[in-house]
Amino acid sequence: MKLKEIIKKLELKVLCCQDLLDEEVSGGYASDLLSNVIAHTKKGDVWVTMQSHVNIVAVGVLKELAAIIITQGREPDAETIKKATGEKVPLLLTQHSTFQVVGNLYEMGVSPID
């Protein structure tokens, strides 16, 4: 499934990297613990978190994630958005909870991490 399809169905706000929305999403993972994300995600996954600080971008780059969905309306600061733009890590925003987003992604056919 393409990232832009997820954005449309979940009505996500795109904070940066609009030119990367044709990327394929291979799976998904939800965690607010960065070490878990590093240990369990793979290239092309979408990460769902309530974290919004600059370190999420570093994890996105390291793991070559398709995007990071920030939940609960938490907005990253300008430094985080600038870093994500420079590193080409799409940041997406929703008012919904992580639980709701993960349920919707699963219904859409986005596979959880094994």
Domain CATH for 32: 3.40.1390.20
Confidence of residue 39 (pLDDT cuts 50, 70, 90): very high
Q: Which two tokens stand for residue 67?
A: 């995007």
Q: Per-residue confidence at 31, pLDDT binned at 50, 70, 90?
A: very high
Does residue 85 sit within a domain?
yes
For the residues 83-96, what does the mean pLDDT come to? 98
**pLDDT at residue 113 in the model:** 66
Please state, in angstroms and rounded to a whole number, the distance separating the CA atoms of residues 64 and 43. Answer: 5
* Region 13-22 average pLDDT: 97
Instruction: For residue 61, tell me if it sits in a domain.
Output: yes
CB–CB of 51/32 below 8 Å? yes
Among the listed residues 92, 99, 102, 87, the one whose alpha carbon sits nearest the alpha carbon of residue 69: 92
pLDDT, residue 101, reads 97
Average pLDDT over residues 7-28: 96
Q: What is the average per-residue pLDDT within 33-58? A: 97
Tell me how far apart the terminal alpha carbons of the chain are, to the nearest angstrom.
18
In-domain check, residue 69:
yes
Q: Is the pLDDT of residue 46 over 80?
A: yes
Q: Please name which of 28, 33, 23 lies closest in space to residue 56, comparing C-alpha atoms.
A: 33
Whole-angstrom CA distances from 17 to 6, 88, 112 are 15, 6, 24
Residue 112 inside a domain? The answer is no
User: What is the mean predicted confidence (pLDDT) over 81-110?
Assistant: 97
Q: Give yes or no for residue 111 having a pLDDT over 80.
A: yes
AA letter at 72: Q
CA 59 to chain CA centroid, nearest Å: 11
Token digits for 70?
């920030």
Give domain status of residue 114, yes or no.
no
Counting residues of the chain whose pLDDT is more than 90, the rounded percentage is 96
pLDDT of residue 112: 79
Range of the domain at 30: 3-107
Whether 9 is covered by a domain: the verdict is: yes
